[in-house]
C-alpha cells in the first residue's frame, strides 16, 4: 500500500470516529509541532543532541529552574533565540483543523504539552497548556504579570529587584494544578480521546489518559507508545497529513 493510500485510510477511520462522537478531546505533544518544522528535544535531530556550553551545562540542564536562578541572563539570551525561532514557524493542518472542529462544536478541548502557542495561532479558543506559554511572564518576587515583551526587551530584572521569568514550566517545577484539573475534567468527560505526537512516557502528563472513560481512544504517533495496546484506532501516518483530510 502506498503512503498516500495509508494516509487516506487513516483519515477515513478518524473521520468516522469523529462523526460518531459528541465529546471529542485532543491531547497533543511535541510531534504535533515537529510537523511545522519545530525540532523536538530528544529526537534524532533534537535540541538535546547539541553539546554542552562553555561551562559544561547540557541543553537539558539549561532548562532547569535552578539554572535560571543561577544564570538568569544566559537563560534570557537563550530564550530570545528560541522565541524568535518559534515565532517564525506557522501552524500546520492539525492546528487549523482542530480549530475548525472546535468552531463546529465537535471538539471540546485541546490539551497540549507544547509551549509554542501554535494552537492559539491556528484559531483554537480553549487550549489547556500543561507546560505553560510564551505569551506572558511574571516576577517571582512580587508576582506582577507582564506581556512577554517585557522579558524579551527589558531583561530578567523587575523593578522590585526580583527575577522575571516566562510563564513556562521549567524542569524541576511542578505542572500548574489548575491546568491539570482542567485536563482531567475534560478527559474524564470525553467520549473520544485523540492522543497525538507524544510518547506518553513523561509523567504526570502521561497519566492523564488513565482518566479516560469513553469508548474510542485514538493514538497517533510514528513511534510505539506504552498505550498502543489500549488504542481503538492506531495511526502511524503523519499527523498533519491525516488531519488535512478531515472534513468538518
Q: How far apart are CA 37 and CA 88, in angstroms?
A: 10
Alpha helices (H) in 20-117, listed in sequence order: 30-34, 65-70, 72-87, 93-103
Residues 6+ apart with CB under 8 A from 38: 30, 85, 86, 89, 116
Cell numbers standing for residue 33: 509541532
Which among 84, 86, 95, 152 has a CA at the least distance from the CA of 120? 95
CB-CB contact of 209 with 187 (8 Å): yes
Cell numbers standing for residue 32: 504535533
CB-CB contact of 23 with 192 (8 Å): yes
Cell numbers standing for residue 168: 513556562
Annotation marks residue 71 as catalytic:
no
Pick the catalytic residue: 76, 95, 119, 131? 131
**DSSP letter string over 204-221?**
TGGGGGGG--SSEEEEE-
Neighbours of 109 (CB within 10 A): 24
Catalytic residue annotation: 131
Amino acid at each position: 500500500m502506498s503512503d498516500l493510500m495509508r494516509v487516506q485510510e487513516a483519515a477515513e477511520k478518524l473521520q468516522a470516529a469523529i462523526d460518531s462522537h459528541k465529546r471529542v478531546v485532543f491531547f497533543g505533544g511535541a510531534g504535533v509541532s515537529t510537523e511545522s518544522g519545530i525540532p523536538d528535544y530528544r529526537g534524532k535531530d533534537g535540541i538535546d543532541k547539541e553539546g554542552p556550553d562553555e561551562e559544561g551545562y547540557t541543553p537539558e540542564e539549561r532548562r532547569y529552574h535552578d539554572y535560571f536562578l543561577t544564570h538568569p541572563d544566559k537563560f534570557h539570551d537563550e530564550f530570545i533565540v528560541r522565541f524568535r525561532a518559534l515565532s517564525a514557524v506557522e501552524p500546520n493542518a492539525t492546528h487549523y483543523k482542530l480549530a475548525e472542529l472546535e468552531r463546529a462544536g465537535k471538539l471540546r478541548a485541546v490539551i497540549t504539552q507544547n509551549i509554542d502557542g501554535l494552537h492559539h495561532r491556528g484559531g483554537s479558543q480553549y487550549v489547556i497548556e500543561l507546560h505553560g506559554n510564551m505569551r506572558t511572564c511574571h516576577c517571582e518576587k512580587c508576582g506582577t504579570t507582564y506581556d512577554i515583551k517585557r522579558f524579551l526587551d527589558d531583561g530578567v530584572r523587575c523593578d522590585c529587584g526580583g527575577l522575571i521569568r516566562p510563564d513556562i514550566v521549567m524542569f524541576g517545577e511542578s505542572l500548574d494544578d489548575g491546568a491539570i484539573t482542567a485536563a482531567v475534567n475534560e478527559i474524564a468527560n470525553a467520549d473520544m480521546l485523540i492522543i497525538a505526537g507524544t510518547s506518553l512516557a513523561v509523567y504526570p502528563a502521561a497519566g492523564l489518559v488513565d482518566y479516560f472513560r469513553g469508548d474510542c481512544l485514538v493514538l497517533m504517533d510514528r513511534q510505539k507508545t506504552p498505550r498502543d495496546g489500549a488504542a481503538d484506532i492506531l495511526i502511524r501516518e503523519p499527523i498533519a497529513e491525516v488531519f488535512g483530510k478531515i472534513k468538518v
